[in-house]
Amino acid sequence: MAYEVTIGIPVYNVAKYIRMTMDSALAQTSQGIEFLVVDDCGTDGSIDIVREYQQRHPRGKDIRILTQPCNMGIGAARNRMMAEAQGKFFYSLDADDCIAENAIELLYDAAMKHRAELVYGSYDRVKMDEDGRVTETESCHYPLRMFSEPDAYAEYAYNVGVQGMNWNYLIATDIVRRNGLKVAEVGHGYGEDFTFTIDLPTYADRVVLLPDITYHYYIRSTDRHRQKKVLSREHMARALKAIDEKKRRDELRERPYYSKRMAALMLIDCSFACEMLGRRRQFDKPFSNEEIRRTMWHPMSLREIVSSKPGRMANLLYWFIGILPPSLCVLALGLMLRRYGVKNK
């Protein structure tokens, strides 16, 4: 069967939430949707719940389950979904969130009307306490905007801030496959999504932003990554390597958004450096001062930074921190940690 859209859902130990997610996906007003679920080898019976839907739901024939050879993490799951999606467009939905019943209809109609390659919906951030009660809801609305000229969306996105999450946008599967786009397979908890979304604006010219709330993102009181007693040095190293590869895209140097894009990448690296410092004792092998400083290397020269107007001050700050001796670099990062309320451990 030919599908217009594939909704990809990675599943790993989400038995508490997967029914809510599947109900919202299967309630879509649009037809022609493939529901592609990746079983990442969890242990709580989540995938058995999905199989129930596959067998009993009226749209069960459109549910396809892929099983990973072992638990490989969210990055590998997203890559497999994008590689095997049968829809002309791909949409990612996390297995503990839900979407509005007309989400795909709104996004797909906008893609058809404007011949768009990429369509973003707006979303809610829903905070919940340990008992599952909603404590706060914040709506994040995009303005209604259409972009059709080369570099126009990238200039806009890097100026206002690129969406970091890898969900709630419809992307042409042809864009993904033609450019070999992949999420870095980093490991659990180190911003795999950023390694994909940070460069999306450089690949799509025809883009639509919608003010309609199409996604409900649930933030629960337990943050599994930050509560881990031991953090993985290997996973952090993979994340740093993935961002370094983005920083080395020299073919973008002449683009009008290059310096703003670089400031965005350096902000990610700065957050990683602060993590390496602020939670140093939690890593299975702590990072040295020199290794932390190396994270802050800047691919732009001082002359390039000074001569570029967009992002100049941010790039100057990151460049300066990166050329300091290791001990002073770590001192500067420590001041930033205290400024933003993160304490050394």
| Per-residue pLDDT tens digits for 2-38 | 899 999 999 999 999 999 999 999 999 999 999 999 9
Angle between helices 312-323 and 258-278 (to 10 degrees): 40
What is the pTM for the complete model shown? Answer: 0.92
CA 133 to chain centre: 26
CA distance 174 to 163: 21
How confident is the model over 171-185, as pLDDT tens digits?
A: 999 999 999 999 999
According to CATH, what is the number of the domain 3-225?
3.90.550.10
- Pairing mode, strands 134-140 and 118-128: antiparallel
Q: Rounded to an integer, what distance in angstroms lies between the CA atom of residue 42 and that of residue 64?
A: 17
48: its two tokens: 């058995």
Query: What are the domain boundaries of the chain?
Result: 3-225, 231-339
Angle between helices 326-339 and 312-323 (to 10 degrees): 130
pLDDT tens digits for range 300-345: 999 999 999 889 999 999 999 999 999 999 999 999 888 765 443 3
Q: For residues 296 and 284, give the distance between their C-alpha atoms in angstroms, rounded to a whole number.
A: 22
pLDDT score for 343: 41
Kindly give, in sequence order, each residue whose CB lies less than 8 Å from that of residue 101, ignoring residues fewer than 6 positions away.
Answer: 24, 27, 28, 29
CB atoms within 10 A of CB 110: 20
pLDDT value at position 35?
A: 98
- CA dist 162 → 4, 153, 167, 299, 307 (Å): 26, 10, 13, 20, 24
Q: Kindly state the helix (H) or strand (E) to which residue 134 belongs, with its residue range.
A: strand 134-140
